[in-house]
């Protein structure tokens, strides 16, 4: 399953695409990239490339493969702590992939080597500054010519906080999730993330679209009246603005978040363009979509709805028996049965297409697939699943927009500070 050599031309310029209406039965499809795959033993498979995980070519190859199948976007995982079997504390394992590159910088490196696919790196917002991140994602939007986004992620781990020394955190564990103090702390992280996103959005709008004049004859490069102070003051941030980077090509790059409960669903509903959720059946998927919709202020329910994607961790093969054998072999290498916050699918691409079609009917906008092992499961998506979805009339055959917002069916927003 070696897929080296199929890559698109490296230049970023492409033909001008004219947006077309998307059939209502079509859904969106994305891939979540993380190391050698989401199974902890994936790096030990025959086709894995563990020696290349920290090289640009590895990530360029994966994104090119996803783009070859006209997927909407890829997400790239990141954090302020080493990967761990426990979500709340570090482990001491040496038989797992540990260490990663910065997701935003990976996206910036990959962007010029791709043409149409969206790039959504993960950013931990609990300890970073929104001014820095707004500039980084705006730059990524320029480098990718309008295909950038960011997945905002919170972190309540003490070992992450210890890198910065600016705050004390309430330790969280599986046993303490129902403790009122812990719940209040987690809710505060999500409130902070909402303010973070608000600052990002204001900074992206702090330059009007025509603020740059670039008039050589008069010597005027910018119209200073079209740069705006955002004057944000909140519990966690006080940001004057304006940004030092002009308004991004998309106006507002895509903001995404992963959610497992009402605190996260409220953030998704009120602050993001795309939400990733983890239902385990079609009925639960429909219920989550309803809960997210209920969190939207009534005044905003006529606006474009949040695109809600269901996450699934997948192990694919041409036969059910083959997929099950692959999963069992990986579990044996790992020394434990693989578990996930998302539904785990083991089967054929055709069976997965059946599931996606069933869940989509519950109101989901699309799906973010987490390949159990890379590149094998990614190639199963691009070579088997996508053609099957196209045969059923459920997925595009080509890109129809130059921007990630356009691919997702979202218009370019009006600048909040621009005068009529």
Coil/strand/helix, residue 221: strand
Spatial CB neighbours of 254, under 8 Å, sequence gap ≥ 6: 73, 118, 120, 148, 149, 150, 273, 274, 404, 405, 408, 410
Mean pLDDT for each consecutive 10-residue tract of the chain (420 residues)?
A: 37 42 77 98 96 97 98 96 84 91 98 97 95 98 98 89 83 81 89 97 96 90 93 95 96 97 94 97 95 83 79 98 98 96 98 97 94 98 98 96 96 88
What digits encode the pLDDT tens for the residues 322-361? 999 999 999 999 999 999 999 999 999 999 999 999 999 8
Contact assessment for residue 155 and residue 79, using Cβ atoms and an 8 Å cutoff: yes
Distance CA 305, CA 312 (A): 22
Per-residue pLDDT at 7? 35
Contact assessment for residue 361 and residue 331, using Cβ atoms and an 8 Å cutoff: no
Backbone angles phi, psi at 29, to 5 degrees: -140, 130
Spatial CB neighbours of 106, under 8 Å, sequence gap ≥ 6: 56, 59, 76, 121
Q: Which domains does the chain have, with CATH numbers?
A: 28-168+250-407 (3.20.20.30)
Per-residue pLDDT at 10? 36
What digits encode the pLDDT tens for the residues 46-76? 999 999 999 999 999 999 999 999 999 999 9
Spatial CB neighbours of 28, under 8 Å, sequence gap ≥ 6: 72, 307, 309, 365, 366, 367, 407, 408
Distance CA 60, CA 292 (A): 34
Per-residue pLDDT at 81? 87
Q: pTM for this structure? A: 0.92
Distance CA 1, CA 4 (A): 9
Coil/strand/helix, residue 106: helix
């Amino acid at each position: 399953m070696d897929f080296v050599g199929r890559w698109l031309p490296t230049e970023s310029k492409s033909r001008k695409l004219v947006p077309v209406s998307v059939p209502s039965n079509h859904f969106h499809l994305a891939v979540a990239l993380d190391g050698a795959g989401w199974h902890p033993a994936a790096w030990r498979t025959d086709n894995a490339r563990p020696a290349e995980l920290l090289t640009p070519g590895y990530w360029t190859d994966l994104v090119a493969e996803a783009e070859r199948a006209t997927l909407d976007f890829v997400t790239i995982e990141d954090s302020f702590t080493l990967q761990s079997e426990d979500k709340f504390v570090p482990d001491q394992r040496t038989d797992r992939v540990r260490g990663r590159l910065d997701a935003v910088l990976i996206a910036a490196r990959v962007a010029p080597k791709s043409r149409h696919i969206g790039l959504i790196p993960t950013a931990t917002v609990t300890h970073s500054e929104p001014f820095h991140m707004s500039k980084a994602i705006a730059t990524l939007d320029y480098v990718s010519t309008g295909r950038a986004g960011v997945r905002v992620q919170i972190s309540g781990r003490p070992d992450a906080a210890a890198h910065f020394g600016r705050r004390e955190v309430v330790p969280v564990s599986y046993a303490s999730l129902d403790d009122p103090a812990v719940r209040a702390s987690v809710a505060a992280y999500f409130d902070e993330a909402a303010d973070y996103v608000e600052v990002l959005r204001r900074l992206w709008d702090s330059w009007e679209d025509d603020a740059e004049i670039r008039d050589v004859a008069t010597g005027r490069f910018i119209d200073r009246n079209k740069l705006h102070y955002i004057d944000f003051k909140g519990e966690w941030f006080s940001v004057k603005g304006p940004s030092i980077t002009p308004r991004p090509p998309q106006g507002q790059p895509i903001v995404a978040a992963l959610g497992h409960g009402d605190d996260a669903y409220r953030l998704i509903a009120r602050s993001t363009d795309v939400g990733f959720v983890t239902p385990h059946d079609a009925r639960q998927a429909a219920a989550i979509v309803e809960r997210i919709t209920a969190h939207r202020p009534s005044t905003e329910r006529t606006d474009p709805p949040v695109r809600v994607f269901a996450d699934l961790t997948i192990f694919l093969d041409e036969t059910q028996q083959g997929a099950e054998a692959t999963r069992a072999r990986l579990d044996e290498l790992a020394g434990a049965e693989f578990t996930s916050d998302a539904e785990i699918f083991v089967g054929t691409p055709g069976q997965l297409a059946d599931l996606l079609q069933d869940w989509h009917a519950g109101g989901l906008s699309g799906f973010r697939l987490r390949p159990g092992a890379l590149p094998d499961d990614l190639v199963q998506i691009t070579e088997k699943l996508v053609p099957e979805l196209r045969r059923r009339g459920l997925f595009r055959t080509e890109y129809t927009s130059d921007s990630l917002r356009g691919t997702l069916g979202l218009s370019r927003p009006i600048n909040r500070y621009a005068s009529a």
